[in-house]
Amino acid sequence: MKVISTHCISCKNRADIFSGLNDTELSKVNDARVGMHYSHGEIIFKQGSPCHDFVCVTSGLVKCFVEGEDDKKIIIGFVRPVEYIFAPGAYIDKRHHFTAIACEETTVCLVATDVFQELVRSNHEFANEFIAKISNQTIDLCRQLTNLTQKQIPGRVAETLLRLSQIVYKKNPFTSCLSRQDMADMCGMTKESVVRALKTFKDEGIITVDGNQIHLLNVPMLETISKIG
């Protein structure tokens, strides 16, 4: 990793949540901020480690996952520019409750939690945006929980493909830097089950797979499979 530096006032990669801050407040954020570059596979923060900063992603892609017993993982989300990673432990026990890793070349800004919390208390517009972001993330987690607990293998994989295309990469076709194991960790399944489901979708003409490129040929069918589980 390496340190990068751009003042918050002149930065063109600010998350929307910071749009309601004046120059004085932005300068306060800048004084409590460190810009970092991470290579593919580098850990940004580890589950259980002290939580001192909020992470704002300015380029690249970050995956967040919960680590369980026997090295099992559940991916709970991806963060792309220009969004931040909410750390609930900052308000509770000052610990990270999941792990964040760079999926590709990624730059982030680490902002000290005490400054972030001070802005929430003093700036109502900032606080409203902050709460809205938390609410959206909670809704998304509820959707993922439904996918993991109420759907069979085809429904889980269909939902994962739609999520990658529509939310993570926002493209169709899309080239994914994720492994089949990553997709399995999104679904709460084994890698072998994901590979079999992808092959079935491919044989039925619903998708094409060429290395890391995936093309959703029949989105309505995937939506139906996802819905009926």
69 and 137 fall within a common domain: yes
Same domain as 19, residue 85: yes
Listed residues 112, 146, 180: the one ending a domain: 146
Residues 23 and 136 in one domain: yes
> Can you give the pLDDT of all 229 residues of the chain as single tens digits?
555 567 788 887 778 888 889 999 999 999 999 999 999 999 999 999 999 998 999 999 999 999 988 788 999 989 999 888 888 898 899 999 999 999 999 999 999 999 989 999 999 999 998 888 888 888 888 888 887 888 899 999 999 999 999 999 999 999 998 999 999 999 989 999 999 999 999 999 999 999 889 999 999 999 999 988 7
Q: What is the pLDDT of residue 155?
A: 94
What pLDDT was estimated at residue 228? 87
* 142 and 40 in a common domain: yes
Which residue range(s) make up the domain with 105?
2-146
Q: How far apart are CA 86 and CA 45, in angstroms?
A: 12
What does the pLDDT read at residue 68? 87
- CA dist 126 and 74 (Å) reads 31
What's the CATH code of the domain at 195? 1.10.10.10
115 vs 6: CA distance, rounded Å? 18
Q: How many domains does the chain have?
A: 2
pTM of the model: 0.86
Do residues 187 and 115 both lie within one domain?
no
Residue 19 shares a structural domain with residue 115? yes
Residue whose pair of structure tokens reads 């290395």 in the numeric block: 211
pLDDT at 50: 95
What was the pLDDT predicted at 107? 93
| pLDDT value for 2 | 55
Say yes or no: 124 and 159 in one domain: no
β-sheet bridge partners, residue 218? none
Torsion, Cα 171 173 174 180, to 10 degrees, reads: 130
Does one domain contain both 134 and 42? yes
130 and 171, same domain (yes or no): no
Are both 142 and 156 inside the same structural domain?
no
